[in-house]
Amino acid sequence: MRRDPGKYSTAVARWAGVGPYYAMFPTTFAEKVINTYTRRGDSVLDPFAGRGTSTFSAAVHGRIGIGVEINRVGWVYSQAKLRPAGEDRVAERFEQLWNLSHRYRGVAKDLPPFFRHCYQPNVLQFLVAARSLLDWRTRRTDWTAMALLLVSLHGKRDNSLSNQMRQTKSMSPAYAIKWWRERQLLPPELEPLEFMLKRLVWRYAKGVPKVLKSHVYLGDSTKILSHISRYLGSDHKRARLLLTSPPYFGITNYHYDQWLRLWLLGGLPTPRRIGGMYKGKFENLHQYRSLLLSVFSSAKPLLTENAVVYVRTDRRKLTLRITAEVLREVFPNRRLRYKYRPYTRPTQTNLFGHAEPKIGEMDLVIR
């Protein structure tokens, strides 16, 4: 496993990267915004938390991070970064899963053909045991173990548990099987326990980050934000910065793209494109605008009067126009500034068929 030793020389650096996730915030970007617009002890709110980059960056820089994420994959990543269990306990949990994995041989054999093309039998039994036994919603050891499994669930053959696949996006089963057959690719032969223990040692080699108490809620921001006022209700606890990046209009379906990781978290063993009003690709302009308006309106009471609102969005016309309109409607007496952020290197969308020229992103800042 080749890694740049300088890039991962601290505990923060090793844990910040937990969770391959499509369209994720660059950590350096989140840190710069947080350090520019807040002071230690301030609260930072992210209603579209993703894998928790802004919340984690706030927490390791002495701020209180508050996030909300609707996708279970992103939430598990966030939990592991903010509240990781001890290394020995996670190692013991992996060993327990391995010792019990033989009991899940029948369940593994009953899965669709995709899984047998993607994983060796011993790996698949280990994963099915983890899917069945890990209480990732409530137990620190289990959400940490699950997050590390999700990281390694699929990717390059020499760096994951799976047959060759992109790390950030699960391929559709039919396409994947066809692709593997054409290239005569078989699942990598490995011992899953040994594989995960090696990655566990690497992850904890610099320790775990020291974080200020922070939290990411699992659920829909249109419903949850109104229920967290007990944490940010008084003026001195309200957030001085709202830092977020909402989903872009018509770009990707985060839940479909993560279908395999969602399976490991208890979901269906096949991808589904329909997952609710706020779990799709956002191709309905009315619903998209309604989502942004509802979330930013619900977030406003949780901000201090002079809080900075910093939103990274797509520079394409529709997404940018709707996002700017909503922000002006929710914050009518505040100044809205535009900061153009051109792409300096190929984006993840190049990997997934979006080959048209990229015009970059736009930061919308209300001060």
Cβ-defined contacts of 185-190 (< 8 Å, 24+): 185/157, 187/116, 187/117, 187/118, 187/119, 187/120, 187/123, 187/162, 187/163, 188/120, 188/157, 188/158, 188/160, 188/161, 188/162, 188/163, 189/120, 190/120, 190/123, 190/161
Predicted confidence (pLDDT) at residue 351 exceeds the cutoff of 80: no
* SS3 at position 303: strand
Predicted confidence (pLDDT) at residue 289 exceeds the cutoff of 90: yes
Task: Evaluate whether the domain defined by 11-83+215-249+277-366 bears CATH number 3.40.50.150.
Answer: yes
Predicted confidence (pLDDT) at residue 294 exceeds the cutoff of 90: yes
> So what's the pLDDT on residue 353?
45
Confidence band, pLDDT 50/70/90 cuts, at residue 4: low
> So what's the pLDDT on residue 251?
67
Give per-residue pLDDT as tens, 121-172: 999 999 999 999 999 999 999 999 999 999 999 999 999 999 999 998 899 9
> So what's the pLDDT on residue 359?
67
Strand order, beta sheet including 215-218: 215-218, 64-69, 43-46, 239-244, 303-314, 361-366, 336-341
Q: What is the mean pLDDT of residues 176-187?
A: 97
Share of the chain above pLDDT 90, in %: 77
Q: What is the mean pLDDT of residues 68-88?
A: 97
Predicted confidence (pLDDT) at residue 1 exceeds the cutoff of 50: no
- CA–CA gap between residue 122 and residue 191 (Å, rounded): 7
DSSP state letter for 358: P
- CA–CA gap between residue 145 and residue 76 (Å, rounded): 10
Q: What is the mean pLDDT of residues 282-305?
A: 91
Give per-residue pLDDT as tens, 235-272: 558 999 999 999 888 766 667 889 999 999 999 999 97
Q: What is the mean pLDDT of residues 52-78?
A: 96
| Inter-residue contact 365 to 336 (CB < 8 Å) | yes
> So what's the pLDDT on residue 227?
85
> So what's the pLDDT on residue 142?
98
> So what's the pLDDT on residue 253?
67
Start-end of CATH 3.40.50.150 domains in the chain: 11-83+215-249+277-366
Predicted confidence (pLDDT) at residue 339 exceeds the cutoff of 60: yes
| Inter-residue contact 71 to 51 (CB < 8 Å) | no
